Amino acid sequence: MKRVLARRLVTSIITFFVTISIVFIFAHLSGDPLAELEDDPRVTPDVIAAMKAAFGLNKPLYMQYLDFIWSVLHGNLGYSLQYLRPVEDIIKERFPYTLALLVPSITLSNYLAYKAGVETGWRRGSKFDLSFMTVSMFMRSVPYFWLAIIFLYVFSVKLGWTPIFGAITPGISFANTWAWLKDYLWHYILPFTVLVFRETLAMLLYVRNTLIEVLREDYITTAKAKGLDEAYVKYRYAARNALLPMITILGMRYAFLIDGAVLTETVFAYPGMGRTVFEAIVNRDFWLLQGAVVLLSASVIIVNFIIDIIYLYLDPRVRYR
């Protein structure tokens, strides 16, 4: 048990180092991080030279690499040229917004996909199953951001039910926490719905196919032959065993969800990490983009590690191997 855990921890750490090394390699493939400033006629060569010295850009490459790892490990992610503030400060402000979107939406979408997946898999080939499959297939072809745009257009622009942008109405001072929460949730509901809707349909197919696999097992036939109640077989025998593979791919789903959040937040101008990525692209704020990538990748690695631990408890086969 402890050995398995230790191995998983080592793998996670290696993954983290490989990830930030990839970030470093790509960041330096493009050459000079200050290229945009050098093109700017308002910035004199002296300033560039001073900045290069300050950021350590005149050191040899391996020193820069060690410096980079050292500062990442100390939570030092560089300096945003757009906000003129340290990147980690900006991320500290915005990451909670994204986390508040990601965690509830992955939880709810997994629950809904589990329920719907078990029903469709159990009634494989029925009209009920077929309609779910058709919708699911079609939704796989629809771009994430476009779905968000449709939601925004219909519910905010046409119907006026929800606000058009942001996480909080700007320029309002709230009387109490409840008023703030109400405003927050009013902005929250639409991006949240987009993520849940899309993730549920994506996960549904997987749960359904797993359930169909499980239904082929001998113990299901035995349970049915014993004359057990159909609902009992469905939930106690089949659904339980379809749950485990769901947890296996949860880490991968979390990574997908981050991609979804980047696009959804951009459409709704929601001030989380996703929107930050978009702003960093538009404003060519290289360090901010790099910081966001490092932090979000680290969160994926941490989530994967937690899922691995959960898995160890749930599946005895892994524990005793």
Partner 1 sequence: MTMRERYLTFKEKMSELWFVIKRNAAAKLGLGILITIIGIAVFAPWIAPYNPNVKSGAIFLPPSHKHLLGTDDVGHDIFSQLIYGTRISLMIGVLAASTAIIIGTLIGLSSGYFGGAVDEALMRLTDVWLSIPMMLFAIFMVAVLSRTATRMLYSVIIAIALTSWPGTARLVRSAVLSIKEYPYIESARAVGASSWRIMINHILPNVVPIIIIEVITRTGLAMLTEASLSFLGLGDPTAISWGMIIHYAMIRNAIVNGFWWWFLPPGIMISITVLGVLLLGLGLEEYFNPRLREG
Q: Which residues bind partner 1 (CB under 8 A)?
A: 14-15, 18-19, 22-23, 26-27, 29-31, 35, 137-138, 140-146, 149-150, 152-153, 157-158, 164, 251-252, 255-256, 258-259, 262-263, 266-267, 277-278, 280-282, 286, 289-290, 292-293, 296-297, 300-301, 304
Cβ 47 to partner 1 shortest distance, Å: 20
Query: Per residue in 115-153, is it b (16+ CB within 10 Å) or e — as a string?
Result: ebbbbbbbeeeeeebeebbeebeebeeeebeebbbebbe
Cβ 143 to partner 1 shortest distance, Å: 5
Count of beta carbons in the 10 Å neighbourhood of residue 83: 16
Contacts of 74 by beta carbon, 8 Å cutoff, 6+ apart? none
Is residue 318 within 8 Å of 312, Cβ to Cβ? Answer: yes
Query: What is the Cα 46 distance to its own chain's centre?
Result: 42
Q: How many helices (H) and strands (E) does the chain have?
A: 15, 2
CB of 17 or CB of 232, closer to partner 1? 17
CB of 106 or CB of 267, closer to partner 1? 267
CB of 223 or CB of 300, closer to partner 1? 300
CB of 223 or CB of 291, closer to partner 1? 291
Cβ 235 to partner 1 shortest distance, Å: 25
Q: Residue 149 has which token pair? A: 């745009």
Which amino acid, residue 199?
A: E
Computed from CA positions of residues 296, 297, 298, 299, in that sequence, does the dihedral angle turn out positive or negative?
A: positive
CB of 190 or CB of 223, closer to partner 1? 190
Cβ 192 to partner 1 shortest distance, Å: 19
CB of 101 or CB of 293, closer to partner 1? 293
Cβ 24 to partner 1 shortest distance, Å: 11
CB of 22 or CB of 181, closer to partner 1? 22
Cβ 178 to partner 1 shortest distance, Å: 29
CA pair distance 274, 266, nearest whole angstrom = 6
Q: Residue 10 has which token pair? A: 């080592």
| Unique residue bearing structure tokens 């978009």 | 278
Computed from CA positions of residues 155, 120, 203, 137, in that sequence, does the dihedral angle turn out positive or negative?
A: negative
Cβ 177 to partner 1 shortest distance, Å: 30
Cβ 233 to partner 1 shortest distance, Å: 22
Is residue 64 within 8 Å of 56, Cβ to Cβ? Answer: yes
CB of 138 or CB of 219, closer to partner 1? 138
Is residue 220 within 8 Å of 186, Cβ to Cβ? Answer: no
